[in-house]
Amino acid sequence: MVTRVHRPAILVAAPASGQGKTTVTAALARLHARQGRRVRAFKCGPDFLDPMWLELATGQPVHNVDLWMTGEDDVRARLYASAQDADLVIVEGAMGLFDGEPSAADLARRFGLRVLAVIDASAMSATFGALAFGLQHYRAGLPWAGVLANRVGSPRHAQLLQAALPAGDAIAPASWLGAVMRNAAFKLPERHLGLTVAGELPDALARLDAAADALQHTSLGQMDAEALQRWSVAFDSPPEMQPTPRLLTGQTVAVARDAAFCFIYAANLDTLRELGAKLVFFSPLANEPVPACAAVWLPGGYPELHTHALADSLTCRDSLKAHVAQGRPLWAECGGMMALFDAIVDTEGNHHPAWGLLPGLVRMQPRLAGLGMQQLALSAGVLRGHTFHYSTCETALQPTKRTDPGRSCAAGTGEALYQHGAVRASYFHAWMASSPAAAAALLSPGTLA
């Protein structure tokens, strides 16, 4: 039997990347969390970094939702579960509102999430109205909350932007939700893979508080619990899910987790626990040895920023070599794989020694070398996920398998999956909940098929 719960919910979107939607999403979440409300936030798409900022803002776990990568039933289950005890549900969109197939707009339409459009208005006036009108009306049936002008230069600038919006009517009510002024105090710093990891900045929470303070002066920021009810959404319970097979019962999985290996979906850890695994964590940057375990997972992250520390982590390296020498599986994805090669070559051509568990090297590039949704077909099931990297791999190893582009608009040959003894490695980031059985296969002995 389907049950239903009503909660205020909003999807924060933009006409393009770089408009400030993560800052606004985190500021809105932080503002209501400071007022004592329980806020649950989600990130549309496969991003690892934005959820870290949203988790800091809310104090709650942040999961990814995507109609393709995670699947509609998974999205429905996560939204419904969060709505049980949340006062406000916020979903941050990905890229531009209509970018991707399916897009953030498709997610909003599927679940009735009101769309708040954040527009960087720093270099426009009347065109702001055209953009807002286009976002609202480009696709029929888009639930609409309003528009927020971001990086505004002055109160007079804000007046011009508001005046540019078309007059409201019964179908398209006036949607001005205010203006946030330019302020370096709450700018979230970036680097080559996106935002800087929140945990690396000692003033990260202060930045979010400054952004929340600025948002509090807008109509959006002044909405109280009663006003939020106009964005109430009916969340239906998901269909009954098949129980996760306990394929890793009694097995310990060691997970690398530190600043070099930080791209970890919370849902992946949940999936491994549901498979029956006991999880233990270790830090290669701290030169910690691999704990006693049946399998190791080296997630992605930023090994290229920590080459000297990783080269010096000989205890960790040697314990990894001993682990695989005993035939115990090691799954390394993206940054985890990079650290296993003989060397990492930076963009200036400097060679930095790595751990040498895989022959060859990875070479950093000034531009993206891989981007997009991917899926990996194994005999145990099909894992969905994505790829996003700035390096290329040079190795004599031949791929055991390749991923397939996950969407019809994607191109290319997919990412290689290498198997070298007990090591399995790829640039592919897996969403393990898409096929728990396939995730268990990555961490189980034997040749992947």
Q: Tell me the C-alpha distance between 322 and 336, whole Å.
A: 17
Two structure tokens written together for 343: 């060397």
Does an H or E element contain 282, and which? strand 278-282
pLDDT digits (tens, 9 = 90+) for 224-281: 989 999 999 999 998 888 889 999 999 999 999 999 999 999 999 999 999 999 999 9
Q: Is the pLDDT of residue 219 over 60?
A: yes
Tens digits of per-residue pLDDT, 360-407? 999 999 998 898 999 999 999 999 999 999 999 999 999 999 999 876
Please tell me the distance from the alpha carbon of residue 152 to that of residue 146, in angstroms, as a whole number: 17
- If we measure between CA atoms, which residue out of 260, 405, 412, 406 comes closest to residue 337? 260
What is the reported pLDDT for 385? 97
**C-alpha dihedral, 346 to 347 to 351 to 352, nearest 10°:** -10
Does the pLDDT of residue 118 top 80, yes or no?
A: yes
Q: Which of 316, 334, 393, 409 is catalytic?
A: 334
- Name the band, by pLDDT with cuts 50, 70 and 90, for residue 408: very low
Over pLDDT 70: what percentage of the chain?
96
pLDDT at 203 over 70: yes
Percent of the chain with pLDDT over 90: 86
What mean pLDDT comes out for the span 150-170? 88
Q: What is the mean pLDDT of the chain?
A: 93
With cut-offs at 50, 70 and 90, classify the pLDDT of residue 5: very high
- Per-residue model confidence as pLDDT tens digits over 428-443: 999 999 999 999 999 9
The pLDDT, as a whole number, for residue 171 is 45
216: how many CB neighbours lie within 10 A of its CB? Answer: 15
Which residue type, as a one-letter code, is found at position 167?
Answer: A
pLDDT at 409 over 80: no
User: What mean pLDDT comes out for the span 87-106?
Assistant: 96
| Per-residue model confidence (pLDDT) at position 449 | 78
* Band of residue 412 on the pLDDT scale cut at 50, 70, 90: low
For residue 172, what pLDDT is reported? 47
pLDDT band at 192 (very low <50, low <70, confident <90, very high): low
* Domains of the chain from N-terminus onward: 4-236 (3.40.50.300), 252-442 (3.40.50.880)
Distance from the Cα of residue 185 to its chain's centroid = 24
Q: What is the mean pLDDT of residues 75-81?
A: 96
Give yes or no for residue 209 having a pLDDT over 50: yes
Judged against a pLDDT cut of 80, whether residue 173 lies above it is answered with no
147 Cβ contact partners less than 8 Å away, ≥ 6 residues apart: 116, 117, 118, 119, 132, 135, 136, 165, 175, 176, 177
- Catalytic residue status for 334: yes
